[in-house]
Amino acid sequence: MRRSLGRTRWPKQQLPGLPEVSHSDTLIRKAASDAGFDIETGLVEGWLGFAVSGAPIKAWVRGMDRCLYLSLSSPAVLNEMPGRAADGGPSTQSPAGAISCATFEELLAALTRARVLDATLPDRLHSRWKERLAQVSATETEAVVRQRIGQDLFREGLMDYWEGRCAVTRLDVPELLRASHAKPWKDATDEERLDVHNGLLLAVHLDALFDKGLLAFDELGNGLLSRRLSPETLRLLGLQGKAFRLARCVEGHLPYLRYHRENIFRPD
């Protein structure tokens, strides 16, 4: 079932309790539609279900206990989502769990983020890479073409994953952002090459430092600078005396960041 919803003003306040059921469902449908969930799959055990055309992600939403709950079909996506994790979701659909949203604005943001993550996790870029390779001629499928297509997809994926912003500075000028592999292309498997966790979207100066082993990140996402960089160099780069960290560092990043620290980073 497809629904086209008109513009609705979102309630700005923290929910003291959900509105009456019909009004609540209307706003839930509005959030799903605005987030790109263009198919309504129906009511299951009190949860309104939604899907995205051509994508595997499914979402279920319900209001209860003075809160809105969002359940997702993908554990990989749910694990990346901000918000308090909770048990929940229609048991007949075997969802991955649920997160809570205090307002309809938060629900809209969560649904939008879920749709974006679904396009990159856990192996969607690798699948899209194989699809694009199948569309080029046999004479073009040499290593250089495979790498070009893969790196283009990798950048697209990182732009989505990091919401078009540098993972450290939050700079949002695409021309000044680079897709950096933590485990280099030449050392990675095809799956690792197209894993968004094996990459950081970085401002050009941070990308150069990261690529040359003069910058790394620890298991908490804190920045580590090589002692080869002089105080004057750090001053010119705007890094002297500044602590910085990744805006997001999840479990999937950890093995790649560890590889980079152990094999690329030059601390001294």
Neighbours of 203 (CB within 10 A): 19
Span of 11-20, 70-79, 215-224 with lowest mean pLDDT: 11-20
Model confidence at 7: pLDDT above 60: no
State residue 4's pLDDT score.
Answer: 37
State residue 161's pLDDT score.
Answer: 94
Q: CB of 265 within 8 A of CB of 259?
A: no
User: Of 118, 128, 125, 230, nearest to 181 (Cα)?
Assistant: 125
Give the DSSP H/E element, type plus range, for residue 113.
helix 104-118
Handedness of CA 30, 34, 35, 37 (dihedral sign): positive
Confidence of residue 15 (pLDDT cuts 50, 70, 90): very low
CA distance 177 to 162: 11
Q: CB of 210 within 8 A of CB of 168?
A: no
β-pairing, 223-225 vs 215-217, is antiparallel
Instruction: Spell out where the chain has E strands.
Output: 39-44, 47-51, 58-64, 67-72, 85-86, 98-101, 177-181, 199-203, 215-217, 223-225
Cα–Cα distance list, 188 to 143, 158, 181, 235 (Å): 14, 17, 10, 34
CA distance 30 to 19: 15
CA distance 40 to 3: 7
Secondary structure (DSSP) of 180-213: EESS-GGGS-HHHHT-GGGEEEEEHHHHHHHHTT
Q: CB of 196 within 8 A of CB of 161?
A: yes
Q: How much of the chain exceeds pLDDT 70, in percent?
A: 80
State residue 180's pLDDT score.
Answer: 95
CA distance 256 to 39: 36
Cα–Cα distance list, 46 to 65, 74, 102, 106 (Å): 13, 20, 19, 20
Average pLDDT of the chain? Answer: 84
CA distance 149 to 157: 12
> pTM higher than 0.75 for the full model?
no
* Torsion-angle region of 163 (φ positive above 0: left; ψ -120 to 50: alpha; else: beta): left
User: Of 53, 47, 50, nearest to 69 (Cα)?
Assistant: 47
Span of 53-57, 83-87, 243-247 with lowest mean pLDDT: 83-87
How large is the greatest C-alpha to C-alpha distance in the chain, in angstroms? 64
Instruction: Return all residues near 109 (Cβ < 8 A) that are at least 6 apart.
Output: none
